[in-house]
Amino acid sequence: MKTTVKIFLIALMCMTFLKQESAQAQQDPQYTQYMYNPLVINPAYAGNRGRTSIMLLHRSQWVGLDGAPRTQNLSVHSPIGLGKVGLGFSLVNDALGPARETNFNADFSYTIETGVEGKLSFGLKGTLNLLDLDFSRTNPFNMNDPLLQNIDNKLSPNVGVGLFYHDDRFYAGLSAPALLQTDHFDRSGANSASSFIAEERIHYYGLAGYVFDLGVNTKFKPSTLVKMTAGAPLSVDVNANFLFYDKLTLGASYRWSAALSGLVGFQISDALLVGFAYDRESTDLGNATYNDGTYEVFIRFELFKEYNRMVTPRFF
């Protein structure tokens, strides 16, 4: 049964991405250390750690470049009752140039057992997105330009779905955290047909990983994240992380034709994990003198009940 579920998820992931259009721009916030909290992209992960998990992350991208992306994320999720239901909440603040976005997300998951160790979770996400766009932050030559239309805290709802499967070593997931397309800057009044300068498109995510024991005190986890958006290039992250003595994590990540990253994490106690990542662009942007790379730091705190304190930390 476990093998059947794994094959199904991988096949479904491949079919989903092959059906999507090619693209030209990234919209959703980028995360290098997504593997420590997949809840930000997949609602089915809510409660899957088996305990209350609280995570705070900050990301500064392309440091030194004016208007570069900056992201803060706070997330909380936990299993409820017997563990079949998971609930989560996350707050994402994302700044890029003249735009400021704040997302309030509520996540729900339901888990079924697919074998002795396998579990398959179905997830739903509800989102309220608050968008503020002020072109005066860009020091424009002419603020009266009709194309420079500010947006003052526009509120828009959205919904998302996800699947997440895992056993004691393998995990895989598919998700679309925002299914509704939101259009900005309607120019239909100036043309016979409606047109929009900006569109928030659907993002599709697929992730998978496997944990190998390389010895008594060493674990190795290769993993991947695939992101697909109509209007943006296919994004593929390939990661390799090593866990030593259930305390120290060292790893590297390659974002296809985009960036190379180094990752480090330390399990300070059963409850507390901290991590840091540094990205260096592999494009021409990485060679720019004004770009000092990308920094990402997180802290994760977990609450335990007496009967479920972990002997060793789960590596996903």
Residue 44 predicted with pLDDT over 80: yes
C-alpha torsion angle, residues 161, 234, 165, 42 (rounded to 10): -40
Contact present, 162 and 176 (Cβ < 8 Å): yes
Distance separating alpha carbons of residues 133 and 71, to the nearest angstrom: 16
What gap in Å lies between CA 142 and CA 152, rounded to an integer? 19
Select the more confidently predicted residue: 188 or 112: 112
Cα(106)–Cα(93) distance, integer angstroms:
15
Domain residues of the chain, as ranges? 36-176+200-303
Residue type, 241: N
Output the CA–CA distances (angstroms, integers) from residue 17 to 174, 208, 219, in the order listed: 10, 14, 30
pLDDT at site 310: 53
pLDDT at residue 28, as a whole number: 75
Report the DSSP beta bridge partners of residue 57: 73, 298
Between 110 and 11, name the one with better pLDDT: 110
In this structure, what are the phi and psi dihedrals at residue 208, rounded to the nearest 5 degrees?
-160, 155
Q: How many angstroms separate the Cα of 141 from the Cα of each of 118, 148, 194, 266, 290?
A: 59, 11, 27, 48, 23
Say which CATH topology domain 36-176+200-303 has: Porin (2.40.160)
Give the bridge partners for 182, in sequence order: 200
Among 3-7, 71-75, 117-121, 210-214, which is the least confidently predicted range?
Answer: 3-7
Contact 92, 40 (CB under 8 A): yes
* 188 backbone dihedrals φ, ψ, rounded to 5°: -65, -25
Query: Encoding tokens for residue 167?
Result: 């056993």
pLDDT band at residue 106 under the 50/70/90 scheme: very high
pTM of the shown model: 0.82
Contacts of 308 (CB under 8 A, 6+ apart): 50, 51
Residue in the block written with tokens 């003249």: 98
User: Which runs of consecutive H residues, i.e. helices, occur in 126-259?
Assistant: none
Q: What is the pLDDT of residue 305?
A: 63
Percent of all residues in the chain with a pLDDT value above 90, rounded to a whole number: 53
* Residue type present at position 134: D
Band of residue 2 on the pLDDT scale cut at 50, 70, 90: very low
Q: What is the pLDDT of residues 134-182, one digit of tens each?
A: 776 666 655 565 556 667 778 889 999 999 999 989 999 999 999 987 7
Determine the pLDDT at residue 10.
39
Q: Tell me which of 186 and 256 has the higher pLDDT.
A: 256
Least confident span in 110-114, 272-276, 289-293: 289-293
What are the tens digits of pLDDT across the range 194-206?
444 556 778 999 9
Q: What are phi and psi of 245, to 5 degrees?
A: 55, 30
pLDDT digits (tens, 9 = 90+) for 264-286: 999 999 899 999 999 988 876 66
Neighbours of 285 (CB within 10 A): 13
DSSP 29: P
